[in-house]
Amino acid sequence: MPLPTDEKLLALSNNLIQQFDTIFGEHPSFRPAHAKGTMLTGTFTPSAEAASLTRAPHIVRESTPVTVRFSNSTGLPLVPDTDPNANPRGMAIRFNLAEHSHTDIVSHSVDGFPVRTGDEFLELLRALASSDLAAPTDPKNPKPIEIFLGGHPAALAFVQTPKPAPSSFGRESYFGITAMRFTNADGVVRYGRYRILPEAGNEHLDDAAVAAKGPNYLFDELKERVAAGPVSFRILVQLANEGDVVDDATIHWPEDRRVVELGTIALTAPVADDAHEQQRIIFDPIPRVDGIEPSDDPLLELRAAVYLISGRRRRSESAQ
């Protein structure tokens, strides 16, 4: 996972990390976003139709070991699972292809993203940091975040999208933010976005049920769930049609687009020494594998740089 050489991109990445630190406080041993998490191990098994979409190595093998991290949103390591700001939840999947060889999927529980570019995301974070969210709304003196959302309809739609708390990490759906370029053995290319659906089905809680839960209910429930049996998900790809926009994470494709099933993952055990491994592992939003390549979405290189820079910071803290 190389660090980009574009100085503007690196500066933007560092500014984003600094802005997360401003909002949530400095927690260098943790991720600047989705700080609270846990990891499980398991196996990916490709579907019969997956090879029609991609020739990627984990698709042509009988099975591949995986490492999966579930997380809450925010950069607060102790954010209660019951806090509305803990949504959207995150799910990152690492396909362990060989020693020092892997490809990843990074997803969250909302289909889409509030902005198209990194500069817009930085503007959003700065508006959020400079707004007193506890103060009542004053139409004559709008908060910076209200001004930003008023000028960015996609961000407003993302904020207003319902984000109910799940009963379990294993009963939530997750979505790839950006489109990928899939190529099969015959050289046929299609663009698509990941969808990761729980085999147990979706289940969300109302406000009263959430209020009755403890601050770590999702993490406690996940331990009990995996101890009782595999936690399974289907990995799907929603395909773009000719003419669909494939480089803008704020644009949703219609639901009538074809969906291909890549396969299933079955998670069977917690990761040993979970806290240490969470500091060490750096997920990569860029696939970097033959058969699955990044689209031209401008968020991809930026996210990869942010993950790598913040990951090196975590590792440095761990070493100390």
By annotation, the residues acting in catalysis are 34
Q: Which residues pair with 43 in a beta bridge?
A: 65, 266
Which residues line the annotated binding site?
Answer: 307
Per DSSP bridges, beta strands 174-176 and 189-198 are antiparallel
- Name the average pLDDT for the chain: 96
Which residues line the annotated binding site for heme?
Answer: 307
* Lowest model confidence (mean pLDDT) among 2-16, 48-62, 131-145, 224-238: 131-145
Q: Cα dist. 11→15, 162, 260 in Å?
A: 6, 33, 38
pLDDT at residue 137 is higher than 90: no
User: How much is the pLDDT for 140?
Assistant: 86
> Would you say 262 and 46 are in contact if contact means Cβ atoms under 8 Å apart?
yes
> Which two structure tokens, joined as six digits, stand for 305?
């740089």
Instruction: Give one DSSP letter per residue of 272-286, joined into a string.
Output: TTHHHHHHH----SS
User: How much is the pLDDT for 311?
Assistant: 96
> Would you say 43 and 268 are in contact if contact means Cβ atoms under 8 Å apart?
yes
- Across 42-63, average pLDDT: 97
User: How much is the pLDDT for 319?
Assistant: 65
Domains (ranges, CATH) in the chain?
7-110+163-318 (2.40.180.10)
The whole-angstrom distance between residue 197's C-alpha and the CA centroid of its chain comes to 14
Q: Cα dist. 234→195, 198, 231 in Å?
A: 8, 6, 11
- The span from the CA of 71 to the CA of 87, in Å, is 9
- The span from the CA of 192 to the CA of 116, in Å, is 17
Q: pLDDT (tens digit, 9 = 90+) per residue, 143-154?
A: 999 999 999 999
- Burial string for 109-138 (b: 16+ CB within 10 Å, else e) reads bbbbbbbbbbebbbbbbbbbeebeeeeeee
- Residue 274, number of CB atoms within 10 A of its CB: 14
Banded pLDDT at 1 (limits 50, 70, 90): confident
Tell me what percent of the residues of the chain surpass a pLDDT of 70: 99
pTM, 2 dp: 0.96
